Structure 1
Amino acid sequence: MSITIADVATRAGVSKTTVSRVLNGKGEVDRRTADRVRAVITDLGYVPNARAVNLARGRTRVVGMLVPALTWPWMGEVLQGAVDVVESEAYGLLLFTCNRGDESMRRFASQVSARSFDGLLVVEPEGTLDYITELHRRGLPVVLVDDRGHQPGFPSVRTTNEAGARTAAVHLLHRGRRRPLVVTGPRRFGCTRERTAGFAEAYAEAGLPVAPDRLVEGDFTFECGRAAVRRLLTDRVDFDAVFAHNDLSAAGALQALRDAGRRVPADVAVVGFDDLPLAGHTHPPLTSVRQPLREMGAAAARALVGHLAGSPLPDPPTVIPTSLTVRASTGAT
């Protein structure tokens, strides 16, 4: 049978409250009594429940993380970055997804009410920003990963979407590509607007504005990239490059070009965004703007855990820059 706090109290001739005070370092217990309780703890081999001790001290040493779904292609990288930091600081991670919509959020809210975690990392599920902001206002430390242009009233970690897209445009211009097709993400996302603007500005500055019929709204899926390329080929719209707002839709574009007998990069160059492991395994391997996903997750977790240890949360957003990984889909040299 396991030793309980009641066993320690009985052997030491004190109350369970006194034993708890000795364990937690709270309240006044005279030195002789405290020494006697500690001796009994050692003699019986009592190991206090870590969760109970932490709750008594007003903390759980657990970090919550709220995300839309684990099916997002880059979510694993962000999650791994966060886990690396959380575990290194001896915290646990309690993960919540919104796979079941309102039902998921009700379950999440119940864990918030139960104070099941000390602070929260968020990859914002759609429609939850106001609620998360209110949680932060009430005192729950929150750090957002991948601010989608919403500029919340609490700390966030983001990357340089506009500058990354500009880098992709400059790279294609240097490769002599004058007529790009752009397959965007959903227009409501801030990252979509930023990537569209950065890419278009670079081409406009070169005297080659992106024509409206070569700007196609997608949804970050493989099928949207494939469908966009198929449609423009069917409509005989002339393009010599594709810039897709993520690697998955870029892979769809590569498939459509291959099906149509177009050579990559000889006929059409292709650039994606994210630089997931997938990018190195497409045919041909995909040039991609590297989004520092693991670093973003780690930076957010580091800020949150540091705050729980007593440091202030960062005020301005933490920005980790993108970079371009050049591969064969644009003619690596």
Structure 2
Amino acid sequence: MPITIADVAARAGVSKTTVSRVLNGKDDVDRTTADRVRAVITDLGYVPSARAVGLARGRTRVVGMLVPALTWPWMGEVLQGAVDVVETEGYGLLLFTCNRGDESMRRFASQVSAKSFDGLLVVEPEGALDYITALYERGLPVILIDDRAHQPRFPSVRTTNQAGARAAAVHLLALGRRRPLVITGLRRFGCTQERLAGFAEGYAEAGLPIDPARVVEGDFTFECGRAAVESLLAAGVPFDAVFAHNDLSAAGALQALRDAGCRVPQDVAVVGFDDLPLARQTHPPLSSVRQPLREMGAAAARTLVSHLAGTPLPDTPTIIPTSFTVRASTGTT
């Protein structure tokens, strides 16, 4: 049987509270008693769990991370960035998803109540921002990753969605593409609104406002990209470029163009958003706005761990800019 704190207390003739105070370096235990407790710990080979010591000190050295689901195409990159920092700094990571909706959130709330972690990284589950804000206001350190233009009242890490989309427009205009099809994400998302605004801004500055007939709302899936292209081709709406709000829907657009016998990029140039590993694997490889996903996860984790070590949380968002990667889908290998 493993040696417990009760065994140490019994052998030393003290209470479990006294053993705990010795383990945690409290200076209110007399020296003779403390020495006796330490000797018993050595004799019995008692090893206190890191969790027990952490809880006694009011710290767990665990970081919580709440995300909507691990099935989102870019979630793995964000998670890896966070894990790289958390593990390097000697913390554990407790991951929560919202796959089961309200049930998942109830389980998460129970872990919050149990103080199972010292701080929280969040990729916001839809509709949870008010709850997360309340946790922050009650004293839980929170960092939001990808604020979706919500501008929360607590620290966040985000990227330049609008500027990235504008860069896509400038690139397509330089290629002479004047009639782009835009496949958006869900319109209620702030990132969708920012990407649509940035792309429209680029074309408006060239005197070419985006035709609403060529703007199709999608849901960031492969199927929505394919369906959008098929719909415009069937309706006879001409377009010479596609700007999709993520790489997965851009891949669907590529598939539909290929099925229809359209040449990419000769007939239609295609640009995605995110620059996931998928973008290098499509046919042809996909030009894409690179979202610094791993860097965002790492920056959020670094900010949180630094705060747990005593650094104040920042008053303004951390912004990591997008960049643009050119590949064969717009004419460059």
What is the match of residue 274 of structure 1?
A: 274
Question: Cα deviation per residue 1:146-183 (whole Å; 9 max; x = unaligned)?
Answer: 00111111000000000100111111111111111110
Structure 1 partner of 2:241:
241
**Are positions 1:26 and 2:26 aligned together?**
yes
Cα distance in 2 between the residues matched to 1:223 and 1:277: 19
Q: What is the CA deviation profile of residues 174-194 of structure 1, one whole-angstrom value per residue up to 9, with x for unaligned ones?
A: 111111111011111111111
What residue is the counterpart of 2:161 in the other structure? 161
Find the counterpart in structure 2 of residue 5 from structure 1. 5
Q: Which range is displaced more, 6-15 or 75-84? A: 6-15
User: How many residues are treated as equivalent by the alignment?
Assistant: 333
Runs of 5+ unmatched residues, structure 1: none
Amino acid at match of 1:12: A
| Residue identity matched to 2:216 | V
Q: Could you report, residue by residue, the CA deviation over 1:290-311 in whole angstroms, capped at 9, with x for unpaired residues? A: 0000110111111111111111
Deviation at 1:217, TM superposition (A): 0.9
Corresponding position of 2:326: 326
State the partner residue of 1:137: 137
State the match for 2:87 in structure 1: 87
- Name the counterpart of 2:44: 44
Paired amino acid for 2:91: Y
1:119 maps to: 119
Amino acid corresponding to residue 274 of structure 2 in structure 1: D
Residue 27 of structure 1: how far off its partner (Å)? 5.1
1:294 — aligned with what?
A: 294
Aligned partner letter, 2:88:
S
| Structure 2: runs of 5+ lacking an equivalent | none
Aligned-partner residue type, residue 102 of structure 1: D
In structure 2, what is the Cα distance between the partners aligned to 1:100 and 1:173?
44
CA distance in 2, matches of 1:228, 1:4: 64
Could you tell me which residue of structure 1 aligns to residue 185 of structure 2? 185
Tell me the secondary structure at the aligned position of residue 65 of structure 1. strand
Partner residue, 1:148: 148
**Matched letter for residue 181 of structure 2:** L
Match for 2:72: what amino acid?
A: W
Separation of aligned partners in 2, 1:191 and 1:39: 60
Hey, what's the Cα distance between the residues in 1 that align with 2:213 and 2:6?
75
TM-score under structure 2 length normalisation: 0.98
Counterpart Cα distance in 2 of 1:114 and 1:12: 31
Amino acid at match of 2:157: V
Give the deviation of 1:8 after TM superposition.
2.1
Distance 2:128 2:307 in 1: 23
- Aligned AA for 2:260? A
Q: Which residue of 2 aligns with 1:77?
A: 77
Distance across 2 between alignment mates of 1:280 and 1:245: 17
Q: Residues 259-289 of structure 1: CA distance to partner in whole angstroms, max 9, x if unpaired?
A: 0000000100000000011000000000010
Supply the RMSD in Å over aligned alpha carbons: 1.1
Return the offset for 1:32. 2.8
1:92-117 CA-partner distances (Å, limit 9, x unpaired): 11111111111111111111111111
Provide the secondary structure at the position in 1 that maps to 2:157. strand
Tell me the residue number matched to 1:58.
Answer: 58
Q: Secondary structure at the match of 2:256?
A: helix
Give me the identity figure in percent: 85
Q: Distance in 2 between matches of 1:17 and 1:68?
A: 41
